[in-house]
Amino acid sequence: MEIVDRLAVFPTASSYTKVKCRLICARRGRDLLAKKVDGLLIRFRAVLLQLVMNKSRLGEVMREAAFSLAEVNYTTAIELLVELASLQHNFRVLDQVIKETNRRVNALRYIIIPRLERTLAYIITELDEYEREEFYRLKKIREQKARRRAGKSSHDLTRNPGHADMLDNTEEDLLF
């Protein structure tokens, strides 16, 4: 048994239209998700840069706070720690969203869109085959009708030979 990776649809013109619309929407969705990933990556890099800068700044502030034990330095260090924790949370969330979006883009690119394309190809081949069969069937019907007409007209000629050709004088005259 052959495994065919396409949608189970009946090959009609309406199913062709529906699958084609789904394919267009899937491509548009893939493009939009790819743009979303690009935007998220830009934001991800900005958060990463800010995170690295804050970590280095926090190290400096903590060294100063440890030596001088000044309350202001500790307050600044606490504020930096809160900001650093917030940035790390944003970093993790962005990383997760980027992974999920990439998964969706890849699913569209490598699974859904090819499946829809194979379904469209199947529908097109089936509709073409149906059209060829219909053409052949109509051709045979025309041939049968032509044969019947030819047979009927020759049958009429053999049945009523006197009416076939009035100028044909092969008959004997009965009066003279």
pLDDT digit string, tens, across residues 111-138: 999 999 999 999 999 999 999 999 999 9
Length of the chain: 176
| 37-48 exposure pattern, b = at least 16 Cβ within 10 A, e = fewer | beebeeebeebe
- The predicted pLDDT at position 1 comes to 44
pLDDT tens track for 59-114: 777 776 655 566 667 777 788 889 999 999 999 999 999 999 999 999 999 999 99
Q: What is the pLDDT of residues 165-176, one digit of tens each?
A: 555 566 665 665
pLDDT in the model for residue 80:
84
Which ranges constitute the DSSP H helices of 6-70?
13-68
pLDDT of residue 165: 55
Chain-centroid distance, C-alpha 10: 17
- Distance in angstroms (rounded) separating the CA atoms of residues 114 and 133: 28
SS (H, E, C) 92-108: HHHHHHHHHHHHHHHHH
- For 1-51, how does the pLDDT look when each residue is reduced to its tens digit (9 = 90+)? 455 688 889 999 999 999 999 999 999 999 999 999 999 999 999 999 999
CA–CA gap between residue 73 and residue 67 (Å, rounded): 10
The span from the CA of 46 to the CA of 53, in Å, is: 11
d(CA 94, CA 37): 10
165 phi and psi angles, rounded to 5 deg: -145, 115
**pLDDT bracket for residue 158 (50, 70, 90):** low
